Amino acid sequence: MAKKTKQTAGTPATVALTRAGVEFTVHPYDHDPRAESYGLEAAEALVMDPMLEAVMERARSTFTAYRAALAAIRADPHEGSLPQDPTYLSWTLSASAPLPMPERQGLLECDDPISRLEMVTDLLRAELRAMNVIPSLPATEVARTRWSPN
């Protein structure tokens, strides 16, 4: 979870964010004094992949919609803000989503965060579609118990 940074020194942007009370995360990198552009240097150092950003945004928005749908029938599966790091985000969504065991196993077997985020997004979208058709869903407690003939 991103923590509010309390600082009085820093870049003009971080000082403004701190004064406004906005939560943010500092992503440090080693500055090269010969760099011609701070922005380009930071972008290259942090290597923000546009595809990864799009996948993360889709996963966040789908999980937010899922949380809103669950709010009417049960407690929120995740409290607080979602992680910014793609790996932590993929594991957080995987752990927070109340899914049946085979789907959870599939998430565990994903090799990289992009695949895991895409998979959890697809699973949550399918769950949202089912919840819109069958109001008694999600029946996650049923999926997590052993089979019973009763």
What letter does residue 31 receive in the DSSP assignment? Answer: P
Q: For 88-122, how does the pLDDT look when each residue is reduced to its tens digit (9 = 90+)?
A: 999 999 888 878 889 989 998 988 888 999 999 99
User: What's the mean per-residue pLDDT of the chain?
Assistant: 79
What is the C-alpha separation between 66 and 75, in angstroms, rounded? 12
In the prediction, which pLDDT does 59 show?
94
Burial class for 7, CB neighbours closer than 10 Å (0-12, 13-18, 19+):
exposed
Instruction: Give the pLDDT mean for 117-133.
Output: 89
Asked if 14 contacts 7 with a C-beta cutoff of 8 angstroms, the reply is yes
Q: Which domains does the chain have, with CATH numbers?
A: 12-46 (no CATH), 50-143 (1.20.58)
Per mean pLDDT, which range of 32-36, 60-64, 107-111 is the poorest?
Answer: 32-36
Residue of 132 and 126 predicted with greater confidence: 126
